[in-house]
Amino acid sequence: MRYRIGIDVGGTFTDFLLTDGETSPRVYKVLTTPGDPAEGFMAGLGEMAGDLGLPLSDFLARVETMVHGTTVTTNAVLTRTGAKTGLLTTRGLRDALEMRRGVREEQYNNRYGNVPPLVERYLRLPVSERVDYRGEVVNPLGEEDLRSALAALRREGVQAVAVCFMNSFANGAHEEAAARLVREEMPDVYLTVSHELLPSIRFYDRLSTTVLNAYVGPVLRRYLESLVGRLREAGFGGTLLIMQSNGGVVAPIIAGRRAAQTLLSGPAGGPVAGVAYTAGLDFAGCLTVDMGGTSFDASLVKGGEPLVTSEGEINRLRLALPMLDIITIGAGGGSIGWIDEGGLLRMGPQSAGADPGPACYGRGGELPTCTDADLLLGYLDPDYFAGGRLKLYPQAALAAVKRHVADRLGLDPLEAAAGMYDLINVNMAAGVQEVTVKRGEDPRDFPLVVAGGAGPNHACRIAAELSIPVVLVPRESSIFCAAGMLMSDLKHDFVRTCAALLASCDREVLARAFRSMEQEGLALLLAEHVPPDRVEYRYRLDMRYVKQYHEVGVEVAPEEIHQGRVEAIAARFHRRHNELYGYALEDEGTPVEIINLRLSCIGRTEKPRFPEESYGGPDASRAYKRHRPVYLPDQRTFREVPVFDGDRLRYGHRIEGPAVVEQVHTSLFVTPEYVLKVDPKGSFILLLLEREAELTGRVGL
């Protein structure tokens, strides 16, 4: 038996999915160990080996592939615990990192402060040099400046150096010379060179991304070296792959060089899994949401592909590498309920995390969280949380809600818990609107794929808030991102700035740039042992109307470039611009210009096969456990509702709400407006009861 494992280290739990391609996948969750995430990683592997009755070394010898999503770099940025970093940049521009784009993020908030840069000013050192936008040298590189700056950085004991010169995307010769000198005089530092990482226009975006990569690089490299060493010592001889923010995976050595590509590593598995789980549904895409212990992630999948952006941020710091377009807000099971200065109830973004955790965990937490509210409202069984391995304490939850929320609002504690539940659902629905309405899409057009340990208890209420008629809760929803990681392909993204009018662009120049990126990507995939027949390329142009500031990305085919079919490309651009902004300037004849060429180089991997179940009929009584009182939000009252064992439900079973479906690692609250049906893979599909007949065919049931 050969195994594949997906591993997602989250803020509260570390999730594992174990597959062998023949039997049903196995789900595991262990508490995350923030001090050293590798400890939780290894503990989960040990638990799997124990379940299979194997010594850890024998089990690991049978594991072919591990795909790992990590929060190491994310946490380093959020907690400001990255490497001490120095910056070498063009003289006169040392403050660009702090000035950023010169635009106030909250336009009408004059108290909103700037985010502190990751590199303090005394470590941002200027170097005499200048290249113009065409790549022509205006001022030569000042070697004396450079040596003086390196001496200062050595004295300060920096662990990482970022090199970012003006217009190096057009000519990287000065950066290459500076990098050679850094390697000679500071061979032990982690070096990031901007034109190697992100050779594209927009100085601040390139500068911020380069600094982020340098800042988190040593942290990720140490973690990966330690993890690879521990796995090797434990007997693992298979392939370890690291999840990237773009939804693809790479070898650890490449991840170590491009550390910033892992800054949204964990959540990126969700949209990838969403593609697989909705493949048989009659919809143009899906919405995926993942509510874990600390955060809530929302994304849109359209046309079989997750949406990608190169205008991301982490902790208000610009990250311009391609990443899946995921909105993250502070709304999770551990989100803390509190009363603001105006006497209004708020939920999050503060979280109780894994330690001490919600008050009901009984581990010293005293603040009320979403999990405490869910427990008091009957959505969780205090004796069956995590399959009974973690006992919950309702009295501790009640005391926390009463003291910090109910007493301050003059409410009964259960009313306060209901308010907490309603508010966090509204917050999450607003997060879904961010990835749909603000991108020109109607959330009602897509099924809502709900994941995360906490997500299914809130699924129906989020969907009802947005009038979404179809909700899909995968059987593996509690480790959804870990499942998505096993479904990911190897992926490398490249960009070249090539500013030109679309109508008169030099086709050969564009073709040469794409060929250069293809060769670079192919070399990386071959080094990762991908057969040439599994390599695919995706081509994209960033375009805009002349004198616009923001670009719109448009997919293109290589033959459109080679044959100069600019009319077809322009029509696609006008259509997408209208979808995003509500207008197009096609009839006005406004010229369209190309800014960037982008290429994704993809190495297709073997995907896990989840066996399908035989039809079990609509009667779900075999999975019935008991009745218990549960709060019904619309009726504002408790009612005895049936509770079912989700692990005993089979293909074809049907349950009308209200009901609760319990699994070892999650719980699903079915509200009265929805009916639950089980699909052939054992996932739960929720349909609006009044539209059941119409929707059943669209979901393939």
Q: What is the pLDDT of residues 536-595, one digit of tens each?
A: 999 999 999 998 988 999 999 989 988 888 999 999 999 999 988 889 998 888 999 999
Distance between CA atoms of residues 39 and 414, nearest Å: 38
Read off the pLDDT band of 405 (50, 70, 90): very high
Beta bridge partners of residue 160, listed in sequence order: 85, 190
pLDDT of 524: 93
pLDDT exceeds cutoff 80 at 249: yes
pLDDT digits (tens, 9 = 90+) for 595-619: 999 999 999 988 877 778 888 899 9
Distance between CA atoms of residues 641 and 669, nearest Å: 10
Tell me how crowded residue 226 is: count the other CB atoms within 10 A of its CB.
12
Distance between CA atoms of residues 305 and 267, nearest Å: 15
**Span of 290-294, 381-385, 631-635 with lowest mean pLDDT:** 290-294
pLDDT digits (tens, 9 = 90+) for 486-513: 889 999 999 999 999 999 999 899 999 9
pLDDT of 387: 83
Distance between CA atoms of residues 334 and 46, nearest Å: 26
Closest by CA to 667, choosing from 472, 471, 457, 480, is 457
pTM of this prediction exceeds 0.75? yes
Distance between CA atoms of residues 218 and 210, nearest Å: 14
Distance between CA atoms of residues 208 and 214, nearest Å: 10
If residue 374 lies in a helix (H) or strand (E), which one and from where to where? Answer: helix 370-376
Distance between CA atoms of residues 64 and 692, nearest Å: 42
Beta bridge partners of residue 305, listed in sequence order: 302
pLDDT of 106: 78
C-beta of residue 6 within 8 angstroms of C-beta of residue 17: yes
Task: Calculate the average pLDDT of the chain.
Answer: 91
pLDDT digits (tens, 9 = 90+) for 188-228: 999 999 999 999 999 999 999 999 999 999 999 999 999 99
pLDDT of 465: 94
pLDDT over 70, % of the chain: 99
pLDDT exceeds cutoff 90 at 177: yes
Q: Give the pair of three-digit tokens for residue 313.
A: 């941020």
C-beta of residue 488 within 8 angstroms of C-beta of residue 699: no
pLDDT exceeds cutoff 80 at 657: yes
Strands 674-678 and 659-662: unpaired
